[in-house]
Structure 1
Amino acid sequence: MGPENETAVTEFILEGFSGLDQRLQLFLSLVLLLIYLTTVMGNATIIFLVCVDHHLQTPMYFFISNLAFLEIWFTSSISIKLFVILGSGRRTISLSSCFVQSYFYFAMGCTEFILLVVMSFDRYIAIQPLRYTAIMKPQLCIHLAIAAWVLGSTLWSYRLVLLYKLTFCGSNKIHHFFCDNSPLFRLSCSDTSLLWKIDSVLSSVVILSSLCLMLAFYMGILFCILHLPAACGRKKAFTTCSSHLTTLAIAYGSCIAIYVCPSEDISLETNGMVALLNTVLYPFLNPFIYSLRNKTVILALNKVIARATIQLFP
């Protein structure tokens, strides 16, 4: 078919999980909705507590509240459309909405990786309490947080520009539950080789460099833990680090499998399940791993609940 006979695509059809039974899709949408609501409420609670309790207004919780705010928008950019797909069967998405979703997914994912490096750096410096207050001053914390957001937003701004320059004709079916790069690029009748190369290089650099930096900081933390005099202190520190590393393994493992070492043999269902790990499960685990198991956070939450109870029932 010649170019003159090709019809320009005005919207895409997201085919994610279309092979599942209708009842199974409805059940999956209810489970994902429950996870999503818990994620939003958990992260919103962390932000609220950090704002109202002065005991939580420290560098560590400042970065955690930034991560919580990011997670709300990151998971919302994918989950809301996914609920519509699974719950109602409406799978269409306009070109503009698809491009914006793709941009926000990668930009906020990049910001998250940078924030995680900053948080691991903060925990590494905290091993030396005397130097910690001198190094992690409020101005530095604000600058580091702004740098993470600005870098994440600007590094992927090229994607939005280049996506709008692409032309789409022929098939409009995206074999995924969101506008990921690989299935989206394959539908274009333009030359996407440059976009493929830039995406591949930038994704690999961001993911692998942030992973190496974090592992270096955690190795330094673990080395210091081994020299703690008290066994109970070592056990508590090991438990905290292991829980952090478990969630990081989920996020980095899924991203490396999809973007750093992609495989042509992976089926749509398998690729979708792997993508769910870093778009739904990881944001769900973060508030519990980083904050809601912390005694200081629990105490602050109890204070807020007690204060609200007194005001409602004097």
Structure 2
Amino acid sequence: MAENGTVVTEFVLLGFRLSAELQTGLFLVFLLLYLVTLGGNLGVMALIQSDPRLRTPMYFFLSHLSFLDVCYSSVIVPQLLEALRTEKRTIGLERCATQFFFTLCASTECFLLAVMAYDRYVAVCYPLLYASAMTPRTRLGLVAGAYGGAAVNSVVRTGCAFSISFCKSNHVDFFFCDLPPLLKLACGETRPRERVIYLLAFLVIATSVSVILISYLFIIRAILRIRSAGGKAKTFSTCASHITAVALFFGTLIFIYLKGNMGKSLGEDKVVSVFYTVVIPMLNPVIYSLRNKEVKEALKRALSRMKVSPVE
């Protein structure tokens, strides 16, 4: 532990303070979830690239969602596994800063989920104009906007964190370098930075959720105008996977960043953070595969192509 007046250059991640047996069990569980996350998301990306029938705007955005899930889980989970397995909990200031790449990925996912909602709005409300509205150039522009907006948030957030002098302690009561527990180690007043962090979190989440809600209000209105029950169900089914992904992802983010007690209930924060850094990236491929007829059919075609012809 650093004494007052000593500048901290490395941190000790306390993580989950459990018995050796429980830590081994958690290591195996998290390792399995991480491998499933990598396999599922990389599989979705490969499937979309290999099947011409999935070369549509919706699956273009889904491939980026899978890419982001791989990236931000890979920033956090290896560090968590290393701490659980080897008891190596020390992390340098530079490596701690690189973990804020997670902020870039998570913020991009917020904006990307909003882009996907807009895509569904155009598809449902203006089906005849969909192909001309969602051109390759438009798709690239929307995705670039998502990454660009997230980059601004990430740079400002990281600047807020590492313009602080850390001298109270170097023990971080978390399993990665998230900002709320780091702020507890700051020497001076942190309220101005906390306000900036709250404002950024609010802007990212509020902007994304607003686009999603407005898009789905128009989608619901369009669905209600469909006369046949089968037509309503078919149209709604194209949005069901996205709605599920949105509810899981934004529900956890709102709990962490907008509940009004940043860093003061780290026990709850750890559990919820595990959910959105480890569990949600694993669930997204399952959600989009099991609830999507086109993906399941593409998977069947891919598996049939992999079958070895019987030797005659």
- TM value normalised by structure 2: 0.91
Could you tell which deviates more after superposition, 171-180 or 239-248?
Answer: 239-248
2:38 pairs with 1:44: no
Q: Secondary structure at the match of 1:170?
A: coil
1:11 corresponds to which residue?
A: 10
1:262 corresponds to which residue?
A: 260
Relative to 1, partners in 2 of residues 1:292 and 1:138: Cα closer, same or farther, differing over 3 Å? farther
Q: Secondary structure at the match of 1:13?
A: strand
2:121 pairs with 1:124: yes
2:166 pairs with 1:168: yes
2:101 pairs with 1:104: yes
1:293-304 → structure 2 map (5 Å cutoff)? 293-304=291-302
Structure 1 residue 243: Cα displacement: 4.5
Structure 1 residue 45: Cα displacement: 0.9
Structure 1 residue 304: Cα displacement: 2.4
Relative to 1, partners in 2 of residues 1:141 and 1:4: Cα closer, same or farther, differing over 3 Å? closer
Relative to 1, partners in 2 of residues 1:243 and 1:130: Cα closer, same or farther, differing over 3 Å? closer
Could you tell which deviates more after superposition, 141-150 or 215-224?
Answer: 215-224
Contact 2:248 2:280 in 1 (8 A): yes
Contact 1:12 1:172 in 2 (8 A): yes
2:90 pairs with 1:92: yes
Contact 2:180 2:262 in 1 (8 A): no
Distance in 2 (CA, whole Å) between partners of 1:76 and 1:108 is 11
Give, as a single letter, the amino acid of the residue that structure 2 aligns with 1:245.
I
Distance in 2 (CA, whole Å) between partners of 1:185 and 1:168 is 8
2:132 pairs with 1:114: no
Q: CA RMSD in A?
A: 2.4
Could you tell which deviates more after superposition, 212-221 or 50-59?
Answer: 212-221
Partner residue of 2:175 out of 174, 177, 189 = 177
Give, as a single letter, the amino acid of the residue that structure 2 aligns with 1:176.
F
Structure 1 residue 203: Cα displacement: 0.6
Q: Secondary structure at the match of 2:16?
A: coil
Distance in 2 (CA, whole Å) between partners of 1:89 and 1:49 is 38
Give, as a single letter, the amino acid of the residue that structure 2 aligns with 1:12.
F
Distance in 1 (CA, whole Å) between partners of 2:264 and 2:157 is 25
Could you tell which deviates more after superposition, 232-241 or 81-90?
Answer: 232-241
Distance in 1 (CA, whole Å) between partners of 2:192 and 2:289 is 41
Contact 1:16 1:269 in 2 (8 A): no
1:1-314 → structure 2 map (5 Å cutoff)? 6-18=5-17, 20-101=18-99, 103-127=100-124, 128-239=126-237, 241-263=239-261, 267-310=265-308
Relative to 1, partners in 2 of residues 1:313 and 1:70: Cα closer, same or farther, differing over 3 Å? farther
Q: Secondary structure at the match of 2:65?
A: helix
Structure 1 residue 300: Cα displacement: 2.0
Contact 2:4 2:168 in 1 (8 A): no
Could you tell which deviates more after superposition, 286-295 or 166-175?
Answer: 286-295
Distance in 1 (CA, whole Å) between partners of 2:13 and 2:235 is 44
Distance in 2 (CA, whole Å) between partners of 1:295 and 1:245 is 16
Contact 1:14 1:175 in 2 (8 A): yes
Relative to 1, partners in 2 of residues 1:170 and 1:47: Cα closer, same or farther, differing over 3 Å? same
Structure 1 residue 162: Cα displacement: 4.2
Contact 1:25 1:86 in 2 (8 A): yes
Distance in 2 (CA, whole Å) between partners of 1:86 and 1:4 is 27
Structure 1 residue 111: Cα displacement: 0.6
Give, as a single letter, the amino acid of the residue that structure 1 aligns with 2:6.
T
Distance in 1 (CA, whole Å) between partners of 2:21 and 2:111 is 39
Structure 1 residue 241: Cα displacement: 4.0
Aligned residues: 310
Structure 1 residue 191: Cα displacement: 4.3
Overall identity of the aligned pairs, in %: 39
Distance in 2 (CA, whole Å) between partners of 1:98 and 1:272 is 17
Distance in 1 (CA, whole Å) between partners of 2:85 and 2:309 is 40
Relative to 1, partners in 2 of residues 1:26 and 1:42: Cα closer, same or farther, differing over 3 Å? same
Contact 2:61 2:112 in 1 (8 A): yes
Q: Secondary structure at the match of 2:106?
A: helix
Residues 149-196 of structure 1, C-alpha deviations (whole Å, 9 max, x = no match) = 122113321233444433222311111111111110121224434322
Distance in 1 (CA, whole Å) between partners of 2:52 and 2:72 is 27
Give, as a single letter, the amino acid of the residue that structure 1 aligns with 2:110.
F
